[in-house]
Amino acid sequence: MPTLPGAVSMSPISGQITAAPHNSNYAALQNAINNLLTILAGGSSGQVLFGNGTTLTWAPATATAPTVIRTVGWATTALAWAANLAMLAPIEGIVTPTTITRIAFNLGVSSGNIDVGIYYTDDEVTWTRYFSTGSFASPGTGMQTKSIAAQTITPVTGRRWYFAIAADNGTITVNADGVMRLGVQKAASFVLPASITAVTAGVQGPAIVGLV
């Protein structure tokens, strides 16, 4: 937010305007401007100023960063899976540094152990692991949320970011949500490796969401 000016003083100059009505009007205008400056100075990044005709309010009450990825609801279509397969889905909308503390995904069948994480690629040849949880027990069917150490995803020119999920078995199923996400997959990649190459590209990626 730009730096706002200090309080405005519009009191009449002594000897030039002395009539009470003029003094009252200047005082009212001065108060209105200073009240507006106070309101503007109270906003934070991630808030929007709303008005109802009489008052102005910053919303939401607590400023939050945007979510990382957009989805349009969960579907029940399960992606083909195999033991130790890793699936990567592109992260959309990275235009400012965004910190996430949870990763959500949708399981049709829960089985064995999984690993979720974040990768990036600068050349679509090598995908480098930015973060992963490590192996943990598959938590159940339906939408699941895994809390993680805070991770900040920062836009870099030419860099593409991906969520990743891998499982140690072929019984588990991970759902897509109907949005065409051209992801990649890699066999023999559980737990999620430090880097991935020689991927199978152009496959439907799973529905994975990053949350603040």
Which pLDDT value is given to residue 176? 85
Residue 25 lies in a domain: yes
Same domain, 192 and 117: yes
User: For residue 117, is it within any domain?
Assistant: yes
Judge if 96 and 41 occupy the same domain. no
- Same domain, yes or no: 96 and 155: yes
Contacts of 73 (CB under 8 A, 6+ apart): 177, 178
User: 184: pLDDT confidence band, cut at 50, 70 and 90?
Assistant: very high
Pair (97, 145) in one structural domain = yes
Q: Choose among 121, 132, 146, 120: nearest CA to 210.
A: 146
Are 59 and 96 within one domain?
A: no
Assess whether 100 and 153 both reside in one domain.
yes
**Domain for residue 74, yes or no?**
no
Residue 21 lies in a domain: yes
pLDDT tens readout for residues 43-59 = 666 566 565 556 667 66
Whether 28 is in a domain gets the answer: yes
Q: What is the pLDDT of residues 160-173, one digit of tens each?
A: 999 999 999 999 99
Check whether residue 35 and residue 138 sit in a common domain.
Answer: no
Do residues 53 and 105 both lie within one domain? no
Token couple for 196: 């991935």
Q: Which own/partner contact pairs does 19-27 have at CB distance under 8 Å and 24+ positions apart?
A: none
The predicted model gives 29-37 an average pLDDT of 75
123-145 tens-digit pLDDT = 999 999 999 999 999 999 988 99
Distance CA(57)–CA(47), nearest Å, equals 10
Residue 33: which of 59, 13, 2, 4 has the closest Cα?
A: 4
The model's confidence at residue 88, banded by pLDDT at 50, 70 and 90, is very high
- Statement to judge: residues 94 and 2 lie in one domain: no
Residues 184 and 122 in one domain: yes
For residues 91-110, average pLDDT: 92
Same-domain check for residues 102 and 144: yes
Q: Are residues 136 and 185 part of one domain?
A: yes
Query: Which structural domain, as residue segments, surrounds residue 126?
Result: 86-211
What's the structural domain count of the chain? 2
Picking from 63, 78, 109, the residue at the C-terminal end of a domain is: 63
Cα–Cα nearest to 169, from 112, 117, 115, 110 = 112
Q: What is the pTM of this model?
A: 0.65
- Asked if residue 194 is part of any domain, the answer here is yes
pLDDT at 27 over 70: yes
Tell me the pLDDT band of 69, cut-offs 50, 70 and 90: very low
Q: What is the mean pLDDT of residues 196-212?
A: 90
